[in-house]
Structure 1
């Protein structure tokens, strides 16, 4: 097809290249447009990152909802891009947007040809089936599970890319791309959920219909937003609710008028008028005093509930009647009613909660438990709900997450949703709430606020008595030990009480022998060598090193990793020494300054994903996940700390597994024993040579991991199901 420049692009002078002159270059594709399943091919290259998108005009112009991601290119030499997708028959024009920034690029050989709907997918599936180990039944089972991860709720006819061979490393989606994705996600994911017949059937099928009291503290709310807030409760598809509106002595006369009007309209609405302003904690307690429901839900006076919010809560309570706390995903809504910035949250993550009030909206809590712990505490205004949740979760572990956007947080000038600096007192209250929570729990720790991300914190646990830490450096036949790795352990590590154990397979390597001899001479009390005298996987060498270790804590470290900051062991040990924690890992950086490892996500493309891989080191991550401690399904044994007792109780590493698969298996066995895995993203080491063995062994070993841990591979508890399952960049599943 012929490229016809439309806007923002021109032929580069004296060059075969094109040049984007602004942030939105566009081409029209001139030529015959087939319909149905098509194969799109082109060659593209650029010094700049190219994130290519194809827009469809289906008779009403080009819209974000009809857009297909074609992938990214970041190589100067042109490479072939190929994608297979479904073109609706009413498509009359195609627009190709090559990138989102000025720069030069190459485009040629653009073709769009019709294919049989099963031609290319069938070939790819057959090749994948042949590569899998085991019997015919086993191969087929694994392949079907991988397909479930790749196919979203709209099925194969969704206008999406099915195959992009040679897809480059993940790159963070731009804000514009995230906004586009969310527009598409809303249209596709929420349309069927609004089916009224199905909603009525859901309500009729509920065995339990608990009353949910919605608490709304009100103070001088703008009439427009106050009405929208109350109307969103009246519009709930679930009818068994009570709305408790507590006016905190508002000076604006319209507030009383509006509250009295709605209270007279519906008997389920209770209006309370406080005679004296006491701020939001006191007003919330007044609403709590009026609550008659089994559960309370918190709603701010200018925000909105999704129409089916309480129905989804009731449905979960029917499935889990023991629930004490329920929270959902959320987004922001601007003054024009446009929804943006969705926050798709993980399931219950205690370390993340101590770093950020991530559960926030919509929060639903058992009324009796809230009253038992004293309701909302005065003095924590702005973070009174954070303080409440920290205290409540010390009393129960019956906490459930609904992975749906049930709450719309109003964004307008002066709101916390619009600016992180709108309510500075809230951050001081949050800081205090965390400190008091740690004190109640008997933890000796300090709390650091992240200045570049207000409302986010890091907890640093103190390490008492400096227990011995055994650092196990495994050197299989395919592995190397960089001299700087060992030197940094002794010269650039502040923690003094360490022993370094190098475990190798007995190979006759003169360079390795000289290195080990040198350090045995330099550090005779803190350095030793163990040999299995037989070829072995890294997992077996690590297990042998653990058996030989004397420390209370074990650190498994690859020989091609260099220590960064001097306090890396202190930071990791503070977490690893806690009984509820299992494995602790840092972020690993590549020599070029990009991220190599930041924990694992299970179930990406049916396997194990590397979130944020390829992102620049300074990137904050999805909702600041690269700034603050959080729980992950697994971390890499490239650098992993664990208590010696917990390691042996879990059975160590599986000798038959290696790389990311072996690490995931080990961390899941720790989880099975009640120990959480933690990523500390501010602890950073440099990984010089990422292991190739993961890719080599993945097809054979992944089926074993799936047999053992199918529940977690199908649903990683720390990765929201609304996020993509084909990449690791935290983009949306559309």
Structure 2
């Protein structure tokens, strides 16, 4: 690093941040923009300003004011000397109809020389002031995150104490780097160090007055208008939250509902007064005043007893429904009236009314539900099924809805996920939305519900509690038999890589009933043959060599090996895999042996202990891409996605286990896909047969990725790769456009998995 670069990109920005230096940057129009009567007018589809004035790289707080008749995205581009490109760009805010002053926080990378601002991509009229750039430090970001959390959860001793405990734990567990990563996430700062402002998403997706008119008209045209009973147990909630909760039901666009409230013998005077007031105001509101406190399960059952709806929807006494919540559910029921259980996405709402922490969920995932209560809010259930299973059970308070879902989904597979935010979960200190530690009993109630589930389903296994991650679990299934596993490893030369792989298998693996089929794809180096001989001599009953001296075709190599494999289970393994966890085979066998399980993958790490694989997302990067690639191994992932075992559409064949009979059922790997996407195609064929693929975060292996294959850097390779892309688009367009295990509201750009999609 030169002294000039250091001064410009490190020292002076750091000093400016300490001093809080402010700079006004003037907007200079450079394309499709004119000024008319004080307003900016966009005259084409590529309007652009450049910023004129000095700015500092690093963290900046940006202030400006704007106004327009519609939401117009503001996209920032930065030029580091290589020109402007979409790679170096981000939508960081909007010009909004509110006309308010706006603030955003973003990171300008070192080396940036120029900044460009694009206001939308169409003709429009708007007001936009010059921008103030205030240089800030990481300490400012920390306080910004703390302030935000206090606003969301309430400024009180309890909240502050929890934040201190959490900060202390993160620093001890993950160090300063992990603490900074957590702070960035809590401040809504993305992995690329720019503001990922959920408020922008909220604003863009807000229902307009005209849309409300259209929805009401659509409801009138519904042929099926079931009564929805909103079930709401109440106990000593603050009046302000109780009123907001009830008002959110009254404001539903779908009018065919009833609100069934059960007061669980509240001691606070205002409860009966408020409930009686609302009951007298709206005939659709029913109230049962219990004489004795029975806790949430009994209280919820009391509310169900006074309900008359065909479906019930669960609502906590301090939360809020989105105004279109019931409409969206009934809309789906008109398309598929046989559904028994519908769940949607959710977010949290602070005491200040600001929405945050959206949870964009996957479609129905039978393994994920055994790891965490991910369906949660809003849940809408067919009442007859809820009654059939006996409603809520005593003794499961805190996870009573988890227990309900586990039992109900044993009776039906008519389950649907609405990928829309329909529920706002209040974050106040006594609410579980403030963090599972706020109600630690919920964690143990969840364990009890899972234990009962395993017993009911006659499944032998153990439940692992995840340290410091309440309400998240892992099921470890017992390996009751010892099926033979055929481990298939294609290779060509690079003997040291293969030797390390085999050594890690034989030295670390505790499961012993396996065979290894090494598929030699035309090796020529004597050291490779020496490695073959070494391991075959040491384990003559376990190691065999299949020689296929043909042009590289991953699919054909593995298909040929399967023909001689003796195992009930197949494990496809790259030669650059290195075992970390000794129980890796037992864990994979436990899942792969289950009736509805298809392909089973594992968490794979680069040698620097960052994520190489924890499931594959369809559509990411164009066809398919790895989730969480390069994230830290210690990162819990999006709502625990890197901690729990979860269903995915695809797992990499670098480490993939499957029953041999399923492999045959889908006719193995597609040999027209010789290099790329053969595992993606294979997993989708398995998915189409009704099996569920799963990635196991409970086991880890190192993956020294692609050390034995070259880059796609020749004309022939590029042509072949393009043909494989074309094959995938021709055969799997539906999955490329919609991955059922990855929410449509999340990004498919580059490596930006599990970030809100740019609007």
TM-score range normalised by the length of the shorter chain: 0.7 to 0.9
After superposition, where does 1:130-529 map in structure 2 within 5 Å?
Answer: 174-177=185-188, 180-192=196-208, 195-475=211-491, 481-529=497-545
Q: Does 1:717 align with 2:740?
A: yes
Change in 2 beyond 3 A, CA 1:183/1:716: same
Indicate which of 28, 35, 55 corresponds to 1:32. 28
Change in 2 beyond 3 A, CA 1:116/1:213: closer
Q: Does 1:68 align with 2:75?
A: yes
Q: Does 1:592 align with 2:592?
A: no
Question: 1:377-424: CA deviations, max 9, x gaps?
Answer: 111111111000000000000000111110010111221111321111
Q: Structure 2 stretches of 5 or more lacking a match? A: 34-41, 52-56, 124-180, 190-194
C-alpha separation between the residues in 2 aligned to 1:89 and 1:570? 55
Offset of 1:196 from its aligned partner?
2.1
Would the aligned equivalents of 1:29 and 1:96 in 2 still touch at CA under 8 Å? no
Indicate which of 607, 618, 639 corresponds to 2:623. 607
Offset of 1:350 from its aligned partner?
0.7
Change in 2 beyond 3 A, CA 1:650/1:481: farther
Offset of 1:276 from its aligned partner?
0.9
Would the aligned equivalents of 1:349 and 1:631 in 2 still touch at CA under 8 Å? yes
Offset of 1:105 from its aligned partner?
3.1
Partner of 1:676: 692
Indicate which of 79, 82, 87 corresponds to 2:85. 82
Give the aligned CA root-mean-square deviation in angstroms.
Answer: 3.5
Would the aligned equivalents of 1:18 and 1:107 in 2 still touch at CA under 8 Å? no
C-alpha separation between the residues in 2 aligned to 1:659 and 1:680? 24
Would the aligned equivalents of 1:584 and 1:677 in 2 still touch at CA under 8 Å? yes
Q: Does 1:731 align with 2:755?
A: yes
C-alpha separation between the residues in 1 aligned to 2:323 and 2:104? 37
Would the aligned equivalents of 1:477 and 1:535 in 2 still touch at CA under 8 Å? no
Question: 1:246-267: CA deviations, max 9, x gaps?
Answer: 0111111211111111111111
Offset of 1:693 from its aligned partner?
6.5
Change in 2 beyond 3 A, CA 1:554/1:51: farther
Instruction: Give secondary structure in 1 for the equivalent of 2:308.
Output: coil
Change in 2 beyond 3 A, CA 1:82/1:380: same
Partner of 1:146: none
C-alpha separation between the residues in 2 aligned to 1:72 and 1:53? 17
Offset of 1:682 from its aligned partner?
2.6
Offset of 1:205 from its aligned partner?
2.0
Would the aligned equivalents of 2:614 and 2:695 in 1 still touch at CA under 8 Å? yes
Question: 1:433-491: CA deviations, max 9, x gaps?
Answer: 01111111111110111122111000000111221111100125899843110111111
C-alpha separation between the residues in 1 aligned to 2:515 and 2:466? 33
C-alpha separation between the residues in 2 aligned to 1:699 and 1:56? 45
Would the aligned equivalents of 2:295 and 2:397 in 1 still touch at CA under 8 Å? yes
Offset of 1:366 from its aligned partner?
0.1
Which has the higher mean CA deviation after the structures are superposed, 29-38 or 82-91?
Answer: 82-91
C-alpha separation between the residues in 2 aligned to 1:672 and 1:573? 22
Offset of 1:15 from its aligned partner?
7.8
Q: If the length of structure 2 is used for normalisation, what is the TM-score?
A: 0.80
Change in 2 beyond 3 A, CA 1:115/1:396: closer
Partner of 1:131: none
Q: Does 1:707 align with 2:730?
A: yes
Aligned length: 658
Would the aligned equivalents of 1:469 and 1:499 in 2 still touch at CA under 8 Å? yes
Change in 2 beyond 3 A, CA 1:724/1:705: same
Partner of 1:167: none
C-alpha separation between the residues in 1 aligned to 2:237 and 2:339? 32
Offset of 1:177 from its aligned partner?
3.1
Which has the higher mean CA deviation after the structures are superposed, 573-582 or 596-605?
Answer: 596-605
C-alpha separation between the residues in 1 aligned to 2:249 and 2:271? 17
C-alpha separation between the residues in 2 aligned to 1:562 and 1:68? 43
Would the aligned equivalents of 1:611 and 1:729 in 2 still touch at CA under 8 Å? yes
Partner of 1:105: 110
C-alpha separation between the residues in 1 aligned to 2:200 and 2:710? 37
Change in 2 beyond 3 A, CA 1:16/1:463: closer
Would the aligned equivalents of 2:94 and 2:200 in 1 still touch at CA under 8 Å? no
C-alpha separation between the residues in 1 aligned to 2:61 and 2:455? 55
C-alpha separation between the residues in 2 aligned to 1:174 and 1:79? 29
Would the aligned equivalents of 2:249 and 2:259 in 1 still touch at CA under 8 Å? yes
Partner of 1:616: 632
C-alpha separation between the residues in 2 aligned to 1:392 and 1:256? 33
Would the aligned equivalents of 2:29 and 2:48 in 1 still touch at CA under 8 Å? no
Partner of 1:3: none
Change in 2 beyond 3 A, CA 1:26/1:509: farther
Change in 2 beyond 3 A, CA 1:230/1:95: closer
More relative contact order in 1 or in 2 (CA 8 Å, sep 6+)? Answer: 1
C-alpha separation between the residues in 2 aligned to 1:53 and 1:287? 51
Partner of 1:163: none
Instruction: Give secondary structure in 1 for the equivalent of 2:505.
Output: helix
Offset of 1:14 from its aligned partner?
8.6
Partner of 2:654: 638
Change in 2 beyond 3 A, CA 1:114/1:177: closer
Question: 1:536-578: CA deviations, max 9, x gaps?
Answer: 3111111111111111111111111111111111111110011
C-alpha separation between the residues in 1 aligned to 2:453 and 2:337? 27
Change in 2 beyond 3 A, CA 1:385/1:560: same
Change in 2 beyond 3 A, CA 1:51/1:575: farther
Q: Does 1:558 align with 2:574?
A: yes
Offset of 1:376 from its aligned partner?
0.5
Offset of 1:82 from its aligned partner?
2.5
Partner of 1:19: 13
Partner of 1:160: none
Instruction: Give secondary structure in 2 for the equivalent of 1:466.
Output: coil
C-alpha separation between the residues in 1 aligned to 2:415 and 2:22? 48
Question: 1:522-543: CA deviations, max 9, x gaps?
Answer: 1111111001232231111111
Partner of 1:134: none
Instruction: Give secondary structure in 1 for the equivalent of 2:205.
Output: helix
Question: 1:102-160: CA deviations, max 9, x gaps?
Answer: xx933325567999999xxxxxxxxxxxxxxxxxxxxxxxxxxxxxxxxxxxxxxxxxx
Offset of 1:81 from its aligned partner?
5.2
Q: Structure 1 stretches of 5 or more lacking a match? A: 1-9, 43-49, 119-170
Question: 1:165-202: CA deviations, max 9, x gaps?
Answer: xxxxxx99733235742111011122459722211222
